[in-house]
Structure 1
Amino acid sequence: MAASLLRTCALAALAALAVPALAAPAQAPQPAQPATVRVDYLHTGNALSESYALERVSIEPLPWPGDLSQAIDRTDRGNNMVEVVDPNTGAVLYSRGFSTIFAEWRSTEEANRISRGFEESVRFPKFDKPVRVRILKRDERNQFSVVWTADVDADAPDTVKKQGPAPARPIPIRVSGPSPQKVDLLVLGDGYTAADMKKFEADVRRLADKLFQTSPFKERANDFNVWALAVPTQESGISRPSTGQHHASALGTRYDIFGSERYVLTLDNRALRDIAMYAPYEFIEILVNNETYGGGGIFGQFSTAAAANPWSNYLFIHEFGHHFAGLADEYYTSPVAYQSTGARPEPWEPNATALKDPAHLKWNKYVKAGTPLPTPWPKEEYETHSREYQKVRAELRKQNRPETEMDKLFRDDLAWTNALFAKSQYVRSVGAFEGANYEAKGYYRPEMQCIMFDRSETFCHVCADAIAEIIDLYSRPVPAAK
């Protein structure tokens, strides 16, 4: 798309969504979208109990960006589900699956010792009457049940109806059409100073281009809008407490979440939402202006990636896979904060299974006749190599060695893995390969390699299908010309 045409489309799209302080030429009238309601609440507890408390209800400055004809989520993803229902009839008006940082923290050792609270939010289109908001949680039967309800009247006096000026101007990166017909991805920046703003925009454009060069995003690129927004920081980079680096930022993103040196999240949900609300979005990826390898992703919340790392392309896409489609990590030899219970329930994630019933494998349509389940692969040889590789990796981090040394280790490891797997009979097959979901035994992944398993560049068939299903939930196909 030519730059002038992109700018015209972007201004029109932003104007339609009422972004403050942006002017646009007159456009043909579009059907009015309802306002966006956000419910902020506290989610507190420990390994044994949890509770919820309403914090505030607010009207965001932009109309609802989503497709009102796709109000109900039937993908069955996430640890949780939000339902907005008619309190008189019980009819579900809107629903979406999601996961939470609280649920991840609850699986750590710390949750056995103390209680903590986490801010969370749910967003939905404003209805013309009071509604009941229900938070559902997936139970041991893999079914959702209600754990909290709150009656919400968006027109009530205590609803926050007026927001302040935007802290930064949203930048249109890719505009394919009106937000209700497209997936709106907002890329936020953290750790970028005022002098770094050109670098931020270049980082977003580079990584968005890489995303849309990767299937299945490549084939569905026209179903996406991409926006960028960053509130400048005083110093370049974000906090990395394990090395004594502490930087202030509006988003509060940092490394070392839950004691994992590579895990990057923000725990300040209020700050995140109060900045993101000034651009159209359904999904958020936070780029941090750091060289150190790291990232994170929570389904339905946000994902993060270190933009200055040599592996930023991989990080951006891998972590977005978690956030966008609820994909499980397929690797299992890297240390994580997660504490295994030894149980092996069937995961809700589409790309991992406990294989309790091989005849009804969830991705059975991709398995060719004659492929054994479980599927053989050079697991023992891989694990022997991986144990040595992880020792070297840990020592490099312990000594705070230059990132170039970590980069070389990663490249050598991927080359070794590619050479090993190339000799396997089932290297290009879909089956059930033991080792996934952080566990060496009892969980299985669909293919030997995938972006969710190692630093390769391709999603497996199952992950690609799961991504496409979410794209379908948020985008509306454009009718073919007659």
Structure 2
Amino acid sequence: MAVSLSQISVAQQMTTPAKPATPATVRVDILHSGNAKTEHYALERVVIEPLPWPGQLKKNIDTSNRGNQLFEVRDKATGELLYSRGYSTVFAEWQSTAEAGKIDKGFEESLRFPKPQHAVNIRVLKRDQHMQFQTVWSIDLDTDAPDVVRKHQATTLKPIPIHISGNSADKVDLLIIGDGYTAKELNKFAADAKRMSQYLFTVSPFKERATDFNIWGLVAPTKESGVSRPSTGQFHASHTGASYDIFGSERYVLTLDNRALREFAQNAPYEFIEILVNNKTYGGGGIFGQFSTAAAGNNWANYLFVHEFGHHFAGLADEYYTSPVAYQTGAEITQEPWEPNVTALKDTSKLKWKQHVSAGANLPTTWPKERYEEASRAYQKVRADLRKNNRPESEMSALFKKDLVESSQLFSKDPNFHSIGAFEGANYEAKGYYRSQMQCLMFDRSEKFCRVCQDGITTIIDLYSK
């Protein structure tokens, strides 16, 4: 169902005339900087965004225990916790790259929350070596202070209703931003956003919870089609700063220009953002609580959209481990990861998903790991050669399809194919991390989330919807 913003506004006035006005949306822009061993925080500015707070005010406190970091908004006078959300950062990924061992670098981040009535204290917490949150930065803020940004440049940007289920306060608001679409391709963006939204709701548990979502689209034309791919000499102007080759990974698409992203996104109601880049080359990315990206023109666009949204929306870990990545998971595996779908399996009696473990399943659970890894090494070599030689994208897509067919055939013959247990190999590591099922949308390009990932997603839907 598609309705206009004006219709929603009228519906709100008719159905809730006695309720207090929806608070404004506060955005605190900060600079997160440092190197491989140090990090620092600094306030850039405080912004009152042009649209009111889109969230469910009765669910201001995050109890999901997700994210590498957590921010809290507390009443300055009383210390009462008013709002909290877990999240992860681009800085944390960069911090594990080789570059971070050589230079200092800064990344912009934003903390968004409903405008409080009084002065507040903002605290940023980070997990320590024992995975417990500890305060790493704190600042007192008055969101009515004279230097708070309240006025914004006039814009013709208007959100496109793609899938609207009701008032924003009662729903998960997902904003799909188009980047790299020329004036002649704006209809293509609308079609791309609608196609991938429809696909999202064919995948459980999104399928069963479709009425808990509002999906909006937002796009402005660019002069050139597509976003930058520096490794091939392509540099294009972008409204969000999205680009391939982040941290040297040819398939990793992110934006490092947080301000550009937030200034664009603030023109629509949102709690989550997925950026569709108008490119055919396979690529995407996702940061929990920040945003996700997907290449809309690729043959695997539907998969990319859902997989990367799984990172951004629910903090799901990648379950694959044979593909190279630009950053590392960390040092020696000594602690249980916070992500809901992977485990270090240090104590089988405390397994996160023990209620789902199949009867009679051994922990760890056997699977054809060696045969899979042997085939994967050959596949990765071919993949690297295709990119190195700049072969047509159709050849890469054919390779992906061949790999999925062969691995699915291998798995389906194993007696533990449908079992829920603890299968070694996950979170970019061949040893030490385990996933709950042999195959999952977070492991390969298959079409279903495992039961544990579905639970992880459902928890976040419940946090944001009525």
Q: TM exceeds 0.5? A: yes
- Matches of 2:276 and 2:367 in 1, distance apart? 36
- Give 1:223's aligned residue: 212
SS in 2 for 1:219: coil
SS in 2 for 1:238: coil
- Could you give the per-residue CA deviations for residues 306-337 of structure 1, whole angstroms, max 9, x where no partner exists? 00000000000000000000000000000001
Residues 1:68 and 2:57 aligned together: yes
- Could you give the per-residue CA deviations for residues 21-51 of structure 1, whole angstroms, max 9, x where no partner exists? xxxxx74555321000000010000011000
Alignment of 1:65-144 (within 5 A): 65-144=54-133
Find 2:371's aligned residue among 378, 381, 389.
381
Q: Is the 1:167–1:231 Cα contact (8 Å) retained in structure 2?
A: no
1:13: Cα distance to partner? 2.4
Alignment of 1:28-427 (within 5 A): 28-30=15-17, 31=19, 32-339=21-328, 341-344=330-333, 345-427=335-417
- Give 1:458's aligned residue: 448
- Could you give the per-residue CA deviations for residues 155-198 of structure 1, whole angstroms, max 9, x where no partner exists? 10000111122352210001100000000000001100111100
SS in 1 for 2:235: coil
Q: Is the 1:223–1:475 Cα contact (8 Å) retained in structure 2?
A: yes
1:86: Cα distance to partner? 1.2
Q: Is the 1:330–1:436 Cα contact (8 Å) retained in structure 2?
A: yes
- Could you give the per-residue CA deviations for residues 124-155 of structure 1, whole angstroms, max 9, x where no partner exists? 00111011111010111111011001111111
- Matches of 2:328 and 2:270 in 1, distance apart? 33
- Matches of 2:173 and 2:112 in 1, distance apart? 14
- Could you give the per-residue CA deviations for residues 392-434 of structure 1, whole angstroms, max 9, x where no partner exists? 0000000000000000000000000010001111101110000
Residue identity opposite 2:448 in structure 1: T
CA 1:16 to 1:397, structure 2 compared with 1: closer, same or farther past 3 Å? farther
Residue identity opposite 1:228 in structure 2: G
Residue identity opposite 2:355 in structure 1: K
Residue identity opposite 1:12 in structure 2: Q
Q: Is the 2:329–2:427 Cα contact (8 Å) retained in structure 1?
A: no
SS in 2 for 1:7: coil
Q: Is the 1:57–1:160 Cα contact (8 Å) retained in structure 2?
A: yes
- Matches of 1:338 and 1:35 in 2, distance apart? 37
- Matches of 2:253 and 2:59 in 1, distance apart? 32
- Matches of 1:166 and 1:365 in 2, distance apart? 51
Residue identity opposite 2:81 in structure 1: V
- Matches of 1:229 and 1:214 in 2, distance apart? 24
Residue identity opposite 1:11 in structure 2: S
Q: Which runs of 5+ in 2 are unaligned?
A: none
- Matches of 2:282 and 2:320 in 1, distance apart? 17
1:368: Cα distance to partner? 2.2
Residues 1:471 and 2:461 aligned together: yes
Residue identity opposite 2:242 in structure 1: T
- Give the TM-score normalised by the residue count of structure 2: 0.98
CA RMSD of the aligned region, Å? 1.2
- Give 1:7's aligned residue: 3
Percent of matched pairs sharing the same residue: 65
Residue identity opposite 2:147 in structure 1: D
Residues 1:442 and 2:437 aligned together: no
CA 1:16 to 1:51, structure 2 compared with 1: closer, same or farther past 3 Å? farther
Residue identity opposite 2:418 in structure 1: R
- Matches of 1:36 and 1:16 in 2, distance apart? 21
- Give the TM-score normalised by the residue count of structure 1: 0.94
- Matches of 1:448 and 1:403 in 2, distance apart? 28
- Matches of 1:83 and 1:262 in 2, distance apart? 34
SS in 2 for 1:166: coil
1:374: Cα distance to partner? 0.2
- Could you give the per-residue CA deviations for residues 436-471 of structure 1, whole angstroms, max 9, x where no partner exists? 000000000010000000000000000000000000
1:249: Cα distance to partner? 1.2
- Give 2:420's aligned residue: 430
- Matches of 1:273 and 1:143 in 2, distance apart? 29
SS in 1 for 2:375: helix
- Matches of 1:89 and 1:139 in 2, distance apart? 27
SS in 2 for 1:397: helix
CA 1:216 to 1:340, structure 2 compared with 1: closer, same or farther past 3 Å? closer
- Matches of 1:439 and 1:188 in 2, distance apart? 33
- Matches of 1:371 and 1:472 in 2, distance apart? 30
